[in-house]
Amino acid sequence: MEVNYKKLLKISVLLLSSVIIGAVSAANYGHLYIQGTVTVGTRSLQWVKDGSPVPGDTVSITLNVEQYTPTNISGSLYLKNTHTTNNYSLTLTVTSAASHSDFDELIVYVYENGSGSWSQVGTLDALTLGSSLSGTINAGEYFRFDFWVNATTTNGGTFEITVEYPTS
Instruction: Give percent above pLDDT 90 in the chain.
Output: 64
- Which tens digits make up the pLDDT trace of 152-167? 999 999 999 999 988 7
Q: Is residue 79 part of a domain?
A: yes
Q: Is residue 158 part of a domain?
A: yes
Give the Cα separation of 50 and 118 in Å (integer). Answer: 18
pLDDT of residue 109: 97
Q: Is residue 117 part of a domain?
A: yes
| Residues found in the chain | 168
Residue-number span of the structural domain to which 70 is assigned: 45-164
Comparing CA positions, the residue from 98, 119, 97 lying closest to residue 110 is 119
Give the Cα separation of 124 and 132 in Å (integer). Answer: 6
Comparing CA positions, the residue from 54, 41, 47, 45 lying closest to residue 136 is 45
Q: Pairing relation of β-strands 45-49 and 52-54?
A: antiparallel
Q: How many domains does the chain have?
A: 1
Q: Is residue 27 part of a domain?
A: no
- Assign residue 124 the CATH number of its domain: 2.60.40
| Lowest mean pLDDT across 90-99, 107-116, 126-135 | 107-116
